[in-house]
């Protein structure tokens, strides 16, 4: 399906909704071609390829909103589901804040979202990627005795959005990933680890040998781990774990959570909360990045939005609905059904992770967290963790079965070092950073 064909289907759906009695309507046509291969030992354990398309609509009728989704694009079927949706609208409460955006548009620039080389890549090369990673991860260390699979994934997507306010736009994108999940054994102890890489283009992915080597190292480096002593120590969050901390923070900057009192940042815009090193941005206009797009899920142009600037909290992130409800303006963060990130990231520093470790006389390097224990209303943060003890500026020994805990406001305020290892391999990313002091619960 071409972009023009996708737009025609979406335009026709909007037209049919208006003819059926809608006061306004929006239609999003999505198509995705996906490929996934998983290898275990010397054979393929999974090989999947699919192409799917679906139409999602928001229909507004007399102050009420209903949604529908269908993969049946035949005209009679589409007419039927649209009529049923409009009929069901009478059971929905009126909502003065629910309608199309006041101003739609698209970012005017080349976002480099589509990789022709990926689209033309031979399936045999994708299969060899998975088999090669599996061979390499098992050969990397004799203690790697099994695997939960080595994976290659890619996708080509097409999105077209049309609404009755006059907006019409379409774009295509690609993404690919490689990942290994080795299982290592030392005596009676088994350890499982994971490492992956994702990007818009094949060329931007870590090579097969790099993925396998890092995954194998993560699997074996935790042998001999023990609990650390309980106390208050500096904590360094390695890049991947730091991204999960930012993911929790994103929930607090979502206007949807602030509107219902489930955000510790509600009513704190303008306050200095973080340290001078905390500059966090949401930006959907970065060429080639996984979180970039010309417009958001309701046809509002994406943009660069500073969320924290040198520790000062600048803004919540909004879609049209919650912007109206809270008396603000949309920041182009709609997913079509809620509020989501574009490229949400902490600005990188100038030091390497090794420099951060060397500058920490005694502390903890966190490489992995376990469980879910964040209270977004209060900002309380608590996670089970694994990592390394730092002694005299060096990694001393692996540690696990401990908990790190703190409060988000205190954590942001105590960030005293940020590394230069930021990598845009997701929509929410972060460089490694150090929090000056947190509670460690171990022995």
pLDDT in tens, 133-188: 999 999 999 999 999 999 999 999 999 999 999 999 999 999 999 999 999 999 88
pTM of this structure:
0.94
Question: Does 423 lie in the same domain as 361?
Answer: yes
What pLDDT is attached to residue 376? 84
- Quickly state the pLDDT bin for 248 (edges 50, 70, 90): very high
Q: What separation in angstroms does the CA of 259 have from each of 5, 66, 197, 325?
A: 39, 21, 35, 8
Q: Last residue of some domain: 220, 238, 253? A: 220
State how far the Cα of 351 lies from the Cα of 416, in Å rounded to an integer: 12
What pLDDT is attached to residue 63? 87
Instruction: Kindly tell me if the per-residue pLDDT of 374 is higher than 80.
Output: no
Task: Give the pLDDT mean for 421-438.
Answer: 96
What pLDDT is attached to residue 157? 97
Q: Which pLDDT tens digit goes with each residue over 217-247?
A: 999 999 999 999 999 999 999 999 999 999 9
Q: Last residue of some domain: 162, 191, 220? A: 220
What pLDDT is attached to residue 261? 92
Question: Does 200 lie in the same domain as 105?
Answer: yes
State how far the Cα of 202 lies from the Cα of 115, in Å rounded to an integer: 8
Q: Last residue of some domain: 201, 220, 239? A: 220
Question: Does 277 lie in the same domain as 214?
Answer: no
Question: Does 363 lie in the same domain as 272?
Answer: yes
Radius of gyration of the chain measured on its C-alpha atoms: 24
State how far the Cα of 245 lies from the Cα of 130, in Å rounded to an integer: 30
Q: Which pLDDT tens digit goes with each residue over 296-339?
A: 999 999 999 999 999 999 999 999 999 999 999 999 999 998 99
Q: What separation in angstroms does the CA of 290 have from each of 150, 173, 404?
A: 22, 9, 30
Kindly tell me the burial class for residue 333, based on how many C-beta atoms sit within 10 Å of its own C-beta (0-12, 13-18, 19 or more): buried
Total count of domains within the chain: 2
Nearest to 66 by CA among 88, 44, 47, 83: 88
Q: Which pLDDT tens digit goes with each residue over 69-122?
A: 999 999 899 999 999 999 998 889 989 899 999 999 999 999 999 999 999 999
Question: Does 310 lie in the same domain as 408?
Answer: yes
Let me know: does 261 contact 65? Beta carbons within 8 Å: no
Task: Give the pLDDT mean for 344-348.
Answer: 98
Question: Does 212 lie in the same domain as 75?
Answer: yes
Residue-number span of the structural domain to which 43 is assigned: 3-220
State how far the Cα of 232 lies from the Cα of 442, in Å rounded to an integer: 11
Higher-confidence position of 74 and 375: 74
3-state SS of the chain is CCHHHHHHHHHHHHHHHHHCCCCEEEEEEEEEEEEEEEEECCEEEEEEEEEEEEEEEEEEECCEEEEEEECCCCHHHHHHHHHHHHHHHHHCCCCCCCCCCCCCCCCCCCCCCCCHHHHHCCHHHHHHHHHHHHHHHHHCCCCEEEEEEEEEEEEEEEEEEEECCCCEEEEEEEEEEEEEEEEEEECCEEEECCEEEEECCCCCCCCHHHHHHHHHHHHHCCCCCECCCCEEEEEEECHHHHHHHHHHHHHHHEHHHHHCCCCCCCCCCCCECCCCCCCEEEECCCCCCCCCCCECCCCCECCEEEEEECCEECCCECCHHHHHHHCCCCCCCECCCCECCCCEEECCCCECHHHHHHCCCEEEEEEEEECCCEECCCCEEEEEEEEEEEECCEEEEEEEEEEEEEEHHHHHHCEEEEECCCCCCCCEECCCEEEEEEEEECC
Question: Does 215 lie in the same domain as 182?
Answer: yes
Sign of CA dihedral 360, 366, 372, 376: positive
Let me know: does 55 contact 10? Beta carbons within 8 Å: yes
Residue linked to tokens 């090579």? 207
Torsion of CA 186, 354, 207, 177, to 10 degrees: 90
Nearest to 26 by CA among 235, 296, 402: 296
What pLDDT is attached to residue 232? 95
What pLDDT is attached to residue 442? 82
- Quickly state the pLDDT bin for 373 (edges 50, 70, 90): low
Question: Does 153 lie in the same domain as 276?
Answer: no
Cα-flanking dihedrals φ and ψ of residue 309, to 5°?
Answer: -125, 110
Q: Which pLDDT tens digit goes with each residue over 179-194?
A: 999 999 998 889 999 9
Question: Does 296 lie in the same domain as 433?
Answer: yes
Question: Does 37 lie in the same domain as 159?
Answer: yes
Laid out side by side, the sheet with 304-309 consists of 312-313, 304-309, 280-283, 344-346, 428-429
Domain of residue 159, CATH code? 3.30.2290.10
Q: Which pLDDT tens digit goes with each residue over 57-72?
A: 999 998 899 999 999 9
Question: Does 108 lie in the same domain as 133?
Answer: yes
Question: Does 269 lie in the same domain as 174?
Answer: no
Q: Which pLDDT tens digit goes with each residue over 19-50?
A: 999 999 999 999 999 999 999 988 999 999 99
CB atoms closer than 10 angstroms to residue 168: 15
Q: Which pLDDT tens digit goes with each residue over 377-428?
A: 899 999 999 999 999 999 999 999 999 999 999 999 999 999 999 999 999 9
């Amino acid at each position: 399906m071409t972009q023009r064909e996708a737009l025609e289907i979406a335009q026709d759906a909007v037209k049919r909704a208006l003819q059926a009695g809608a006061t306004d309507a929006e239609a999003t046509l999505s198509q995705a071609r996906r490929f996934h291969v998983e290898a275990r030992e010397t054979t393929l354990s999974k090989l999947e390829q699919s192409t799917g398309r679906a139409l999602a609509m928001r229909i507004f009728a007399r102050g009420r909103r209903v949604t529908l989704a269908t993969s049946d694009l035949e005209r009679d079927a589409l007419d039927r589901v649209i009529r049923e949706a409009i009929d069901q609208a009478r059971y929905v409460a009126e909502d003065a804040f629910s309608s199309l955006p006041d101003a739609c548009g698209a970012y005017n620039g080349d976002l480099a979202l589509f990789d022709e080389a990926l689209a033309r890549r031979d399936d045999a090369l994708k299969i060899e990627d998975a088999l090669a990673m599996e061979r390499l991860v098992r050969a990397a260390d004799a203690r790697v005795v099994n695997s939960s699979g080595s994976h290659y994934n890619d996708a080509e997507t097409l999105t077209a959005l049309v609404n009755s306010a006059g907006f019409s736009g379409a774009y295509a994108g690609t993404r690919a990933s490689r990942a290994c999940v080795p299982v290592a054994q030392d005596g009676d102890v088994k350890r499982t680890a994971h490492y992956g890489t994702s990007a818009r283009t094949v060329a931007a992915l870590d090579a097969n040998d790099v993925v396998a080597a890092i995954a194998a190292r993560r699997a074996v480096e935790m042998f001999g781990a023990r609990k650390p002593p309980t106390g208050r120590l500096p904590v360094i969050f390695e890049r991947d774990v730091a991204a999960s901390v930012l993911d929790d923070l994103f929930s607090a900057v979502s206007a949807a959570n602030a509107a219902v009192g489930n955000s510790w940042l509600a009513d704190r815009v303008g306050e200095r909360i973080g340290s001078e090193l905390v500059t966090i941005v949401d930006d959907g206009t970065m060429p080639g990045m996984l979180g970039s797009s010309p417009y958001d899920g309701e046809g509002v142009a994406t943009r660069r939005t500073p969320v924290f600037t040198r520790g000062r909290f600048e803004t919540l992130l909004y879609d049209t609905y919650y912007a109206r409800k809270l008396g603000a303006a949309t920041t182009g963060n709609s997913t079509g059904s809620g509020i989501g990130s574009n490229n949400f990231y902490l600005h990188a520093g100038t030091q390497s992770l090794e420099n951060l470790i060397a500058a920490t006389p005694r502390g903890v390097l966190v490489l992995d967290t376990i469980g879910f224990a964040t209270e977004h209303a209060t900002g309380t943060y608590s996670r089970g963790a694994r990592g390394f003890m730092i002694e005299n500026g060096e990694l001393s020994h692996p540690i696990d079965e401990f908990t790190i805990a703190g409060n988000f406001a205190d954590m942001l305020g105590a960030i005293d070092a940020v590394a230069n290892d930021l990598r845009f391999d997701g929509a929410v990313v972060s460089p490694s950073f150090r929090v000056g002091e947190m509670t460690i619960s171990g022995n």
